[in-house]
């Protein structure tokens, strides 16, 4: 757990054994119900329960799962603003407010299954206008506590027509009973300093929900695992052309005449860059892997980019956390350990 030194600087304790040195994780490769929040959450809750029945301690869902990744932004020409406005309005109405009823449902499912959940959502900026959307991850503990959220720092290319930019205030590593977990969304993982912010806080389980697939994305997951000496969980939605209802005009006009818009390609990688769960494509499936946390610790004997390979005498690094202009030397560390027996954990 994080502690402050005499100067008030936050430090993390040395890595020791977790409560359970073998951690079962799940990459939930599933297809959302297109632009239908309630139906997609129904599906998500059922999949969380299924992961729990199979012994998973952690279930990771794809980028923008609720109510769907806005795939149309990659196909409709930007000049066709009328069509984009109609789709944005529907996406906005079906998106998630944090906190809110949708989050409560997901939290209840996590609590009932006893599973930590990472869920990709389209999030309304409820703190302000309520009409800007962020590409966000929700982090929910196995006791149903909402541990935090992360808003994607830079929407990628066409996503900028849909999503706003997040800031450093949502960049965090969660200190959990299963280990230290953090993550970035899709091409945020190509931001070296964003990765370093997580490495600097000793991330052990690194989640990478995405819309990307194939090569070089899979090589990216393997590189992050090897570089950070972390277990990496990549998770993507498999989406067929038929999953987009015919009532959407852009389907006939712009979507390619091919069975799959995105084949998926979720995978789980060990700290040496080897697949624990090989990539799965063109179907829905929950991928499982048992993580040997002792392997993670031992692998840092050779390479520890935030330790003996870091060279702080040569390099300096700071994170600015949005409204708080105070610089920090890594992501925030959030205590996500289970509440002691007899103490209730508020959602």
Annotated catalytic residues are: 63, 152, 186
| Helix ranges restricted to H, the chain | 37-53, 81-94, 101-113, 192-199, 217-228, 249-254, 293-299
Percent helix, strand, coil in the chain, to 5, is 30, 30, 40
**291, 205 in Cβ contact below 8 A?**
yes
Going by C-alpha positions, the residue among 173, 179, 170, 176 that lies closest to residue 143 is 176
Cα 218 from chain centroid (whole Å): 16
How far out from the chain centre does Cα 26 lie? 13
**How far, in Å, CA of 52 to CA of 117, rounded?**
10
Q: Which of 190, 207, 209, 179 is nearest to 333 (CA)?
A: 179
| CA distances from residue 293 to 22, 54, 270, 337 in whole angstroms, order as listed | 6, 19, 10, 17
What is the C-alpha separation between 213 and 220, in angstroms, rounded?
10
Q: Cβ distance 251 to 241 under 8 Å? A: yes
Beta strand 133-140 pairing with 116-124:
antiparallel
Give the separation between CA 151 and CA 165, rounded to whole angstroms. Answer: 7
């Amino acid at each position: 757990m994080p502690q402050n030194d005499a100067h008030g600087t936050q430090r993390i304790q040395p890595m020791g054994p977790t409560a359970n040195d073998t951690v079962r994780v799940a990459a939930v490769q599933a297809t959302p119900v297109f632009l239908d929040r309630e139906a997609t959450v129904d599906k998500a809750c059922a999949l969380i329960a299924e992961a729990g029945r199979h012994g998973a301690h952690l279930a990771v869902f794809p980028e923008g799962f609720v109510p769907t990744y806005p795939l149309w932004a990659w196909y409709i020409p930007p000049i066709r603003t009328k069509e984009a406005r109609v789709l944005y309005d529907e996406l906005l109405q079906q998106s998630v407010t944090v906190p809110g009823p949708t989050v409560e449902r997901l939290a209840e499912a996590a609590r009932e299954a006893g599973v930590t959940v990472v869920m990709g959502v389209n999030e309304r900026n409820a703190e302000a206008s309520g009409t800007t959307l962020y590409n966000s991850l929700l982090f929910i503990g196995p006791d149903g506590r909402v541990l935090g959220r992360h808003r994607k720092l830079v929407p990628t290319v066409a996503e900028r027509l849909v999503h706003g930019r997040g800031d450093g205030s949502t960049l965090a590593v969660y200190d959990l009973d299963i280990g230290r977990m953090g993550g970035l969304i899709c091409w945020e993982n190509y931001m070296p300093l964003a990765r370093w912010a997580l490495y600097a806080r000793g991330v052990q389980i690194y989640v990478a929900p995405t819309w990307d697939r194939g090569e070089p994305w899979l090589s990216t997951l393997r590189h992050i695992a090897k570089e950070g000496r972390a277990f990496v969980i990549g998770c993507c939605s498999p989406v067929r052309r038929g999953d987009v209802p015919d009532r959407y005009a852009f389907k006939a006009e712009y979507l390619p005449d091919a069975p799959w818009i995105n084949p998926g390609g979720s995978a789980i990688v060990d700290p040496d860059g080897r697949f624990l769960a090989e990539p799965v494509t063109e179907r829905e499936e929950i991928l499982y892997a048992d993580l040997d946390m002792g392997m993670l610790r031992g692998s840092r004997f050779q390479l520890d980019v935030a330790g003996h390979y870091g060279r702080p005498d040569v390099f300096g690094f700071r994170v600015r956390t949005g409204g708080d202009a105070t610089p920090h030397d890594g992501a925030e560390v959030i205590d996500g350990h289970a509440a002691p027996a007899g103490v209730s954990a508020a959602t």
